[in-house]
Each structure stands twice: as structure tokens, then as C-alpha cells.
Structure 1
């Protein structure tokens, strides 16, 4: 199981909201400064990249948390753990993912939460506000 040991999900959520608001504002100004038909491929690529980033990092769907050397989406982890009530659950940190093993007498499986740090590098360069979690065995 994971336990947040440093930082707070609520504080991180507020920081993410502020950061996403700043990005949306910059993109809006950029769009106003360049007419759609006159944008270069490079400018359109820039807009597409940041639009995809905003879609991926909606505060309601994403809660990045550091676990060891990787960053995972804690919201997905929380949803999975809720569904695994009554199961024996163990977590293991591997090279580029967190593996969650679960089993009951008749059911056995594993779930992998892959590292999303490559998706967060744009915002980690500016601020590092993600909470830190550690694997705790119960």
C-alpha cells in the first residue's frame, strides 16, 4: 500500500489549478496574437502540445505523486485500491512502474501504474510540488 509521507494532495491540487490557469492564460494570449490561418506548423505544434497537456492534467483526473524515482497518477491508484477491498494487496516499485499485486483465494492478478514523469517534465522544471509517497506493508 502507498502512504503519503511528504506534502499534501490538497495543496498539490491547488498548485496544479494555479499552474493550469497560467498555462491556459498564456495559450489564450498566444492564440489571440496569431490568427489560425496564419500560424506556422511550429506554432500549431506548440499549441497542440500544450492542449494535450491540459487535457491530460485535468485536476479532476490527475494527482501526480512521487513514489521512489517515478511519478504515478494517485487518482488511478486510489480507484484501484477501492475496488480491491477484501483482497490481499502488495506493491512493488520496478524500473519504470509501480506493480500492484492482488489476490484472494480464487482470484489473482497484478496492475501496473507506469511512470508519468516524462509527461510532467514541463511543470517539474518550474515547480516541484508533487507529494511524495512510500510503499508501506501492512
Structure 2
């Protein structure tokens, strides 16, 4: 079982929300910049009608159109990155916690614990993975949670947890023998 010993889940929630908001704000800033560049390009083209333009002006307009196109592509890329990050690291699906030198999704861990109620559980960090072993009279298996630390650049308030032994109930059948 895991016990959080340093840091707070609430703090990391706020930090994730802040990071998602900053990515949203960055894309919004790029969109504002694009809007301003398009306005400036339109005004420049209006100042220099097609008839009577010099080659220098045509090159200038071509350069500005190229900048606008590059910015549109950048917005498309950053929007996709933002959307993927927002979906993947939404606090409804993700809460990072550091354990044994790796970072795992604590929400997924908690979800699995609920499903494994009644099983005998054990956990360990092995070769960069958090392994949750479960056994009962009927079934047994293990769940591996992978290290997600490389996806969490910029998050500094990740809580730390330690593995503690599960307090098991005595087996009454064994005691009666």
C-alpha cells in the first residue's frame, strides 16, 4: 500500500490546473498575434495596390504571408499538444505521485485498489515500474504502473509516497486449526 509522506495531492492538482491554463493562454496569445499579423498584412496590401507594386513590395507581402502561414501551423501544432496534455493530465484522470524514484498515476492506483477490494495486496518498485500484486482464493495477478516522469516536465510539487505493508486480517481458519 502507498502512503503519501511528503507533499499534497491538492497542491499537485492546483499545479496541473495552472500548467493546463498556461498552455491554453499561450495558444490564445499566438491566436491574438496571428489576428494582428493578418490585420497588418491586409492594411499593407491595401496601402500597396496590386497594380503598380514593386518587386520589393511583392517580396515583402510574400514574406508576411509566409510568416502568417508558419504561425497558423504553429498554432495548429500547439493546440494539438495542449489538447493532448489537457486530456491526458486532467485532474479527473491523473494525479502524479513519486514512489521509489519513479512517478506513477495515483488516480489509477486508487481505482485499482477499489476494484481489488478483498484481495491480498502487495506492491514494489521493480525495474522502473510500480508493480501491484494481488491474490485471492479464486484469482491472482499483477498490475504494472509505468514511470510517467518524462511527461511531467515543469511540475515541481509532486507528492512523495512510500510503500507500507498492508495490515492484514488474521486468517480465522488457520487460527482454529
TM-score range, shorter chain: 0.7 to 0.9
SS at match of 1:134: strand
TM-score by length of 2: 0.68
How far the C-alpha of 1:41 sits from its partner, in A, is: 8.6
* Separation in structure 1 between the aligned mates of residue 87 and residue 33 of structure 2, nearest angstrom: 22
SS at match of 1:3: strand
- Measured on the aligned residues, the alpha-carbon RMSD in Å equals 1.9
* Separation in structure 1 between the aligned mates of residue 101 and residue 115 of structure 2, nearest angstrom: 26
Corresponding residue for residue 5 of structure 1: 5
Corresponding residue for residue 92 of structure 1: 124
Corresponding residue for residue 75 of structure 1: 107
* Separation in structure 2 between the aligned mates of residue 135 and residue 19 of structure 1, nearest angstrom: 29
The answer as to 2:112 corresponding to 1:112 is no
1:1-138, aligned counterparts within 5 Å?
Answer: 1-34=1-34, 38-39=69-70, 43=74, 44-121=76-153, 123-124=154-155, 128-138=156-166
Unaligned ranges ≥5, structure 1: none
Larger RCO (CA under 8 A, 6+ residues apart): 1
Instruction: Flag the structure with larger Rg.
Output: 2
Higher helix share: 2
SS at match of 2:158: coil
- Pair 47,39 (structure 1): closer, same or farther in 2 beyond 3 Å: farther
Q: Alignment length, in residue pairs?
A: 133
TM-score by length of 1: 0.86
SS at match of 2:91: coil
How far the C-alpha of 1:65 sits from its partner, in A, is: 0.6
1:67-92 deviation digits (Å, cap 9, x = unpaired)? 12111110000000011111000001
